[in-house]
Amino acid sequence: MNRNAVGWLFVAVQAVLLCALIFLPGSDHWGTPGWLSLLGMAIIVVGFAIIAMASLKLGSSLTPTPVPNGRGALTTSGLYRYARHPIYSGVLAIVIGLTLRSGSVQHLAIGLASIGFFNVKAKWEEDRLAEHFPGYIEYASRTPRFVPRPWR
């Protein structure tokens, strides 16, 4: 299977996972008091803000799939200074926020599957980025994948 097809397959799986989190009804497996619902909503808003800032920073390098498009340079500034995949970090924040608000074991399972999925997707993308950008391996060695290290 060629890279573009694999890239679009990743996008399709991502869409299915996110749609499941959004459209499956919540439950009462755990209580969702008002503060937890508000915390979940705040995390979702932060996730969207991270996605917007990281997407704008990529400019012409932004692609819908995890395949580099060849039009841009390696981005290592802005949010990319703190995490290699801040767009995925933002999506994962949304996943966490939706899961917290749901009160549902099914949502928790989908959320955990999403975290695993994004690790696999990011690793696959990193292999492509290392082939495409000579400085990527050094950048990756000092920059965490999703969660910034505050002590750095």
In the chain, the amino acid numbered 88 is Y
69, 63 Cβ separation under 8 angstroms: yes
pLDDT tens-digit readout, 100-128: 999 899 999 999 999 999 999 999 999 99
What is d(CA 68, CA 128) in angstroms, rounded to the nearest whole number?
7
Domain 3-142 belongs to what topology?
Four Helix Bundle (Hemerythrin (Met), subunit A) (1.20.120)
Domains in the chain: boundaries: 3-142
Q: Which pLDDT tens digit goes with each residue over 43-73? A: 999 999 999 999 999 998 999 999 998 888 8
Write the single-letter amino acid at 23: F
Radius of gyration of the chain (CA): 16
Is the overall model pTM greater than 0.85, yes or no?
A: yes
